[in-house]
Amino acid sequence: MNRLTRRFLFIAGAILGTLVTGTVGFTLIDHYPPFDAFYMTLITMTTVGYGEVHPLSHAGRVFNSFLIMFGVTTIFIAIGAMTQTIIELEFGDVFNKRRNKRMIEKLNHHHIICGFGRVGRGAAEELQRAGAPFVVVDSDPARAERAMMAGMLAVAADATHDDSLRQVGVERAHGLVAALATDADNLFVLLSAKALNPDLYVAARAAEEGAVEKMRRAGASSVIAPYALTGHRLAQSLLRPHVVQFLDFATNDVKEETAIEQVLVAEGCETVGKTIRQMQLSRDLGVIVMAIRDCHGKMHFNPPADAAIQAGDTLIAMGGQQGLRALEVLLAEPPHTGRG
């Protein structure tokens, strides 16, 4: 039940309750016929001032005095609430669009999700859980509204148009997810986005196998074929169920404390040149280094303990959330301190 529905129910309940109370009161105190009691209550609440339908006793006038105060207050509150509702319905969309525009203009190094279908929703929910800034773009206003109802920034626009991408700050963005319905649309978004921001990291969805290589040649940083990936995962769950369970535990179950994270080694990090053994990550942080992607882009799986890390390397580590955060601090650029 949304806020406007609750407001209407509250107004209707308050007016109905006042009418019932007044009708019953006049009927019991001065023995009014039910309709006359209802009519007396109605003209009292609305301050019409026709006078008493039938002469009131002293007790009846005392009751009517309280009914006037309560009934008139109820009517005024109802009128105010209705006026507020009408203003919100008329101008709410304008205010929301302006607020969204201001928030999008403040975004920097954010992500853009083009398409809010099943794939796009999954990507948006994952970014939302991670606390990463992002904005959703979908040509269907109903889908854009659904994203906003979920607490996300969203724009109802065609992501294949350059103006739409500029509207969501593609020049300032870090990454883009192309999750539209067709491969042609995703390829078009990819080409447009890379032309506007050559450094943009683009992850694209490909329905057909032949589209994967085309998107990579067009500049996609990562291409995911959901149908092929799902089939592979289903077969793996039959052949290696424990391996699949482990991967789900480490990457999908957000309720667990254990996760896999990538951590970049900063240029001025004090640990540059040290080996994994010397860093004692497992003992001190409870973190295991599963792989190292060196600064040249080569991936080294299960690196030996005497492997030295260098600036620009990316460590693929597994451990608790607290330990991974501590590893990010350890490998970050140390703060520069100077004397004033």
pLDDT in tens, 251-270: 665 455 677 888 999 888 88
What average pLDDT does the segment 166-188 reach?
93
What average pLDDT does the segment 303-329 reach?
89
CA 29 to chain centre: 57
Q: pTM for the complete prediction?
A: 0.60
Confidence of residue 337 (pLDDT cuts 50, 70, 90): very low
Helices (H) and strands (E) in the chain, counts: 13, 10
- Residue 10 inside a domain? The answer is yes
- The answer on 279 and 193 residing in a single domain is no
Pairing of strands 201-205, 299-301: unpaired
Confidence of residue 339 (pLDDT cuts 50, 70, 90): very low
- The answer on 267 and 327 residing in a single domain is yes
pLDDT of residue 93: 61
CATH number of the domain at 170, please: 3.40.50.720
- The answer on 213 and 137 residing in a single domain is yes
- For the chain, give percent helix, strand, coil, nearest 5: 55, 15, 30
CATH number of the domain at 88, please: 1.10.287.70
- The answer on 116 and 208 residing in a single domain is yes
Q: What domain range includes position 68? A: 3-101
- Residue 231 inside a domain? The answer is no
- Residue 328: phi, psi to the nearest 5? -60, -40
pLDDT of residue 340: 41
Burial tier of 99 (Cβ tally within 10 Å: 0-12, 13-18, 19+): exposed
Residues 6+ apart with CB under 8 A from 177: 111, 112, 113, 114, 115, 120, 123, 202, 203, 204, 205
Q: Which of 69, 101, 133 is the last residue of a domain?
A: 101
- Residue 178: phi, psi to the nearest 5? -95, 100
- The answer on 29 and 64 residing in a single domain is yes
**pLDDT tens per residue across span 112-148:** 999 999 899 999 998 998 889 999 999 998 898 899 8
Greater model confidence, 197 or 240: 197
Residues 6+ apart with CB under 8 A from 34: 23, 27
Q: Which of 54, 76, 101 is the last residue of a domain?
A: 101
- The answer on 309 and 205 residing in a single domain is no
CATH number of the domain at 317, please: 3.30.70.1450
- The answer on 287 and 306 residing in a single domain is yes
CA 98 to chain centre: 18
- The answer on 123 and 170 residing in a single domain is yes
- Residue 237 inside a domain? The answer is no
pLDDT of residue 297: 82
- The answer on 124 and 71 residing in a single domain is no
- Residue 240 inside a domain? The answer is no
- The answer on 179 and 127 residing in a single domain is yes
**pLDDT tens per residue across span 74-107:** 888 888 888 877 776 666 565 566 777 888 888 8
Greater model confidence, 197 or 72: 197
- Residue 85 inside a domain? The answer is yes
What whole-number percentage of the chain has pLDDT above 70? 91
- Residue 161 inside a domain? The answer is yes
Name the strand (E) or helix (H) holding 257: none
Q: How many domains does the chain have?
A: 3
- Residue 71 inside a domain? The answer is yes
- The answer on 95 and 123 residing in a single domain is no
**pLDDT tens per residue across span 142-165:** 898 899 888 899 999 999 999 999
Q: Which of 51-65, 164-178, 309-323 has the highest mean pLDDT?
A: 164-178
- Residue 252 inside a domain? The answer is no
- The answer on 145 and 94 residing in a single domain is no
pLDDT of residue 60: 85
Q: Which of 101, 134, 153 is the last residue of a domain?
A: 101
What whole-number percentage of the chain has pLDDT above 90? 31
